[in-house]
Structure 1
Amino acid sequence: MTLIQDLKSFNIADSTCKLWTFKKQNPKDQPPKYNGHWVDTTEAMVAELKGIIRTQLQYINEQMDYSLLAENNEASVLTITEEETHAGLIKHQFADELPQRKIKNVKTLFNCAFYVIKLVHEDQVLYAVRKTDTTWKSKTASSIVTALFSDAQLDLAEDENFRIQKTIDFFGMAGEIAVRNKSNFESILNYKAAHEQDYAQMSHEDSFLQIFDELQPLTDFIGSNKIHLRRMSAIRQKAFYADPVFMENLRDRHQQYGLNIVFDEDGKIVPSEETCRDIIAALLDHRLSSAFSGNIYDVPDATIV
């Protein structure tokens, strides 16, 4: 069965449900550190959490392999194995509801980065992850008054309030992950940091450096933009820049394909703020021509068929 079929066939109704909250640290040049705690929930909350998962799974009808540039829609997910991510660090913590990990003070909930809805039925575990919103931030919580509208009156709410969203960023089950919100998924599991490291390494590789007269303008253009960083990681994976035939074709045909790229007398790319976007498109091999219409297109994810 596919991952979608496994998720949809999971026995949500008869499963046990626990809610885990996680704080996160990002040590430099190291994997992220997660600190998880579980919280008691009422029967009404359990029913709501299960309902959220059930509803979200109903929307999914298609799965695609996760790639750096792949994008899904509201009816599809991107799939990736857990071992390709830091998900194992999270799973290790929510494996058991140990007494010392139980939340006893509301302050433990403040500044959580995300929460996990964990369902267990027999020997199967399904987990759903969602990034928290601003109501979980201690600064926000301390600077507002929470009001409750009841019986046609507005009254003060006595307890702290934390919003549980009715959407899920990604699901996990049996060693695989189904991603619904790619941006939040990458934020929680530090994929942007991985892309940054990837570009830092590539920018010191001779095979990449030798195609430019100077790399700094491209580095400045990329900056910390997560989309550009993803694209550079994809460029590194494809490594067309290391193929002399590809680079020769690019020099000969870039104008034919409407690419604004400047080459010096030695055939090296001269990047600038005005040309970097087309340089990236070219090195991704995303500027393609239709054999039917003769039109030239930029494609989001060039997949060989």
Structure 2
Amino acid sequence: NKINSANTVLDYDFNTADLDDSLLKIPVNETDFDFMLKSIEADVEPKFIENEQELLGSWVYITRLVVKNKPSFYSVRKVSDSWSTKKVNGFANALFSNNVLVDIKDENVFRIDGKVDFFSYNEQVFIANKVNFESALNFRVGMEKNRDQVVLEFKKQDLFVDADEVKNLVGSNLKRLRKLSQVKNSGYYRDPLYLAQLKVVSENEGWDIKYNDDGKLHVSEQSIELVLKVLNNDRLKSMINQEGFDVDVKHKIG
């Protein structure tokens, strides 16, 4: 069980290394789960499903634990392909009969397993399965919104020769969307000193990053991923032996 074995909680990042025995956390108000919680908590009386057809098309199921004088605890599991109105083998098999789930073997059944993809408590979301978390909350759409927002900022800053080309090159490519969302979150592109130093270092090191005569960045299919990396400060040098590295995940010291 991932929750039982977890001994570390890391801040959520769009690019994350293998979690192993770690959980990720993110404030609930930075996710669409916030809207789901408000919808659930707005219902004084829970709504009961009256027939199996209402379950078809569901993409998650949510468990709510209520303790008096404490925030509610919610656990979420993304619906798998095995969730259907067909007979399945799993943790729990149940039949809808007179609005009650009844254990049965040979009828239409629903499968509920014992795993949790993420859970929420006290305004925080803790993530055990990042892939399912992002899929359940449709993070791609959120990253596409980030793309559009940061491109607008690029235009206001006059940072690129053609900021729309960044949007075109990133498109719906998940790897590039993740990196651009990291760029937005880190905000280095808002720091004029960082941008000035980036230009100096890029020219001194011979990086394949092009500027026009006005100091605006050119971007192309060949350079887009490098440009996104350096805008997120992901080209680093070892203090020990001066080796350089391109990284996807990093944690500040201290």
Runs of 5+ in structure 1 lacking a partner? Answer: 1-54, 149-156
Decide which moves more: 276-285 or 290-299. Answer: 290-299
Deviation (angstroms), 1:257: 4.7
The letter for the 2-side match of 1:189 is: L
In structure 1, how many angstroms separate the alpha carbons of the residues matched to 2:156 and 2:227?
13
Deviation (angstroms), 1:123: 4.0
Preserved contact between residue 2 and residue 21 of structure 2 (Cα < 8 Å): no
Preserved contact between residue 76 and residue 117 of structure 2 (Cα < 8 Å): yes
Q: Alignment partner for residue 180 of structure 2, among 217, 232, 255?
A: 232
Preserved contact between residue 234 and residue 284 of structure 1 (Cα < 8 Å): yes
Q: Which string of whole-angstrom CA distances, capped at 9 and with x for unpartnered residues, describes residues 4-49 of structure 1?
A: xxxxxxxxxxxxxxxxxxxxxxxxxxxxxxxxxxxxxxxxxxxxxx
Q: Which string of whole-angstrom CA distances, capped at 9 and with x for unpartnered residues, describes residues 115-138 of structure 1?
A: 11223344443221011112346x
In structure 2, how many angstroms separate the alpha carbons of the residues matched to 1:286 and 1:265?
26
Q: Does 1:186 align with 2:134?
A: yes
Runs of 5+ in structure 2 lacking a partner? Answer: 90-104
- Residue of structure 1 in register with 2:4 after alignment: 58
The letter for the 2-side match of 1:283 is: L
Preserved contact between residue 289 and residue 295 of structure 1 (Cα < 8 Å): yes
Q: Does 1:118 align with 2:46?
A: no
Report how many residues are paired: 236
- Residue of structure 1 in register with 2:26 after alignment: 80
Q: Which string of whole-angstrom CA distances, capped at 9 and with x for unpartnered residues, describes residues 107-166 of structure 1?
A: 1111101011223344443221011112346xxx6xxx7588xxxxxxxx6322433344
Aligned CA RMSD, in angstroms, stands at 2.8
- Residue of structure 1 in register with 2:93 after alignment: none
How high is the sequence identity, in percent, across the aligned residues? Answer: 26
- Residue of structure 1 in register with 2:228 after alignment: 280
Matches within 5 A, 1:84-233: 84-95=30-41, 98=45, 101-124=47-70, 125-136=72-83, 146=87, 158-205=106-153, 210-233=158-181
What's the TM-score, normalizing by structure 1? 0.67
In structure 1, how many angstroms separate the alpha carbons of the residues matched to 2:119 and 2:199?
44
- Residue of structure 2 in register with 1:246 after alignment: 194
What's the TM-score, normalizing by structure 2? 0.79
Decide which moves more: 158-167 or 58-67. Answer: 158-167
